[in-house]
């Protein structure tokens, strides 16, 4: 079901060849199959949030996501994840991703992982709380779902421990 | 990212994907999407544009409240201020995946051109 004030063209920023190729992976009709659903149980102003991005953001003190192996093995993508505490800025992070220009995220982490904006919303009472920890994994996972158990599952345990109820995800 | 959202939703979290490419929903089945026509790598907005980032996030958060059924895609009404070719969102070097699939990519483009 699509709700439109403006119809988004998800291919607008892709070069024509890449757009044509991506379209070969996407069916014409609506998604058929079940979709999991957890209703939002409280108002935004009472809800605890965490952020998750697939942009390959690590702390400078962390091991960076592994780009060298991907260069050697183009069908392999790093399946690990990193915890990003609230309060981190562009000065605290490194970004590694071979499929986007990472310059902008390094200049302002909020274009991808909006920690400062969500902290403002918490202070203003728009959301209940931004959890102490948000997360990054590496979104290039070519025909491989092992990242769900190796990255997303441990993240989800961390979120439960911190009382998270809702998650905003930003793909790279 | 859609698979991650599905996993988290299954684990008991209410999720929202703020995505520049909502078409993937048809392949994956994403619980809630807020679609935005912004370049890859900057779904929340421009560097140091605090007000612009806030506006996008407030609109995205409202989708968490408005979406009533699994699979809803809400299109956000924002417009990026640059033309696509000026956005410089692509990596400085062609990705390893694209390098090995370059022929297939060229063929996909030719097939589409023939259909038009």
What tens digit of pLDDT does each residue of B71-83 get?
Answer: 999 999 999 999 9
Residue A58 is assigned to a structural domain of this protein: yes
pLDDT of res. B115: 82
Instruction: Give burial (CB, 10 Å; 0-12/13-18/19+) of A169.
Output: buried
pLDDT of res. A143: 86
Minimum CA–CA partner of B12 in chain A? A38
Residue A144 is assigned to a structural domain of this protein: yes
Residue B109 is assigned to a structural domain of this protein: no
- Span A76-87, mean pLDDT? 96
| Structural domain boundaries, residue B76 | 2-89
pTM metric for this prediction: 0.96
**CA gap A136, A155 in Å, rounded:** 9
**CA gap A66, B25 in Å, rounded:** 28
| Structural domain boundaries, residue A82 | 44-170
Residues of chain B with pLDDT under 70: none
The yes-or-no verdict on residue A5 having pLDDT over 90 is no
Residue A63 is assigned to a structural domain of this protein: yes
- Span A47-59, mean pLDDT? 98
Say which of B28, B47, B53 has its CB closest to residue A114. B53
Residue B75 is assigned to a structural domain of this protein: yes
Inter-chain CB proximity B40 and A100 less than 8 Å: yes
Among candidate residues B111, B102, B87, B104, the one with its CA nearest the CA of residue A14: B87
- Cα separation values, A30 from A33, B29, B72, Å: 10, 9, 11
pLDDT of res. A1: 64
- Asked if A121 is an interface residue toward chain B (Cβ–Cβ < 8 A), one would say yes
pLDDT of res. A153: 98
Minimum CA–CA partner of A142 in chain B? B97
pLDDT of res. A137: 97
Helix (H, G, I), strand (E, B) or coil at A20: helix
Looking only at the bridges linking them, the beta strands covering A48-53 and A2-4 are unpaired
Cβ–Cβ < 8 Å for A138, A146: no
Q: Say which DSSP state A169 is in.
A: E
Give the tens place of pLDDT for each residue, A101-152: 999 999 999 999 999 999 999 999 999 999 999 999 999 998 889 999 999 9
**CA gap A20, A2 in Å, rounded:** 22
- Span A39-58, mean pLDDT? 97
The yes-or-no verdict on residue A24 having pLDDT over 90 is yes
Looking only at the bridges linking them, the beta strands covering A48-53 and A166-170 are parallel
Residue B59 is assigned to a structural domain of this protein: yes
- Cα separation values, B23 from A13, A19, B33, B44, Å: 14, 11, 10, 18
Residue B105 is assigned to a structural domain of this protein: no
Q: Within a 13 Å sphere around the CA of A49, how many CA atoms are in the beta-carbon half? A: 29
Residue B97 is assigned to a structural domain of this protein: no
Domain count, chain A: 1
Inter-chain CB proximity A27 and B21 less than 8 Å: no
Count CB-CB contacts under 10 A for residue A15: 14
Residue A122 is assigned to a structural domain of this protein: yes
pLDDT of res. B51: 98
Residue B104 is assigned to a structural domain of this protein: no
Residue B106 is assigned to a structural domain of this protein: no
Minimum CA–CA partner of B5 in chain A? A169
Residue B53 is assigned to a structural domain of this protein: yes
- Span A74-92, mean pLDDT? 95
Say which of A10, A107, A127 has its CB closest to residue B23. A10
Domain count, chain B: 1
Identify all chain A residues contacting B58, using CB atoms and an 8 Å cutoff.
Answer: 126
| Tokens of residue A82, six digits | 């990193």
Residue A32 is assigned to a structural domain of this protein: no
- Span A13-22, mean pLDDT? 93
Q: Within a 13 Å sphere around the CA of B113, how many CA atoms are in the beta-carbon half? A: 8
Identify all chain A residues contacting B91, using CB atoms and an 8 Å cutoff.
Answer: 97-102
């Amino acid at each position: 079901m699509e709700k439109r004030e403006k119809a988004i063209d998800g291919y607008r920023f892709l070069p024509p060849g890449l757009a044509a190729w991506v379209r070969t992976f996407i069916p014409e009709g609506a998604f058929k199959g079940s979709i999991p659903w957890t209703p939002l149980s409280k108002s935004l102003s009472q809800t605890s949030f965490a952020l998750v991005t697939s942009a390959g953001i690590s702390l400078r003190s962390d091991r960076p996501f592994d780009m060298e192996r991907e260069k050697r093995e183009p069908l392999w993508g790093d399946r690990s994840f990193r915890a990003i505490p609230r309060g981190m800025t562009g000065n605290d992070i490194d970004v590694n991703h071979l499929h986007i220009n990472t310059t902008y995220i390094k200049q302002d982490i909020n274009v991808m992982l909006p920690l400062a904006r969500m902290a403002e919303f918490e202070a203003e009472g728009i959301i209940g709380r931004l959890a102490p920890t948000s997360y990054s994994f590496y979104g290039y996972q070519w025909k491989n779902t092992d990242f769900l158990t190796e990255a997303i599952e441990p993240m989800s345990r961390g979120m439960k421990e911190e009382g998270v109820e809702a998650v905003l995800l930003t793909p790279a | 990212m859609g698979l991650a959202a599905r996993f988290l939703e299954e684990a008991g979290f209410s999720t929202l994907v703020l995505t520049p490419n909502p078409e993937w929903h048809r392949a994956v089945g994403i619980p809630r999407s807020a679609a935005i026509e912004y370049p890859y790598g900057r779904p929340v907005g421009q560097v140091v544009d605090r007000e612009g980032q806030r506006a996008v996030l407030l609109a995205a958060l409202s989708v968490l409240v408005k979406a009533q059924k699994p699979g809803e895609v809400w299109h956000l009404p924002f417009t990026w201020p640059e033309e696509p070719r000026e956005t410089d969102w692509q990596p400085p070097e062609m990705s390893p995946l694209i390098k090995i699939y370059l022929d297939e990519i060229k063929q996909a483009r030719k097939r589409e051109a023939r259909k038009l």
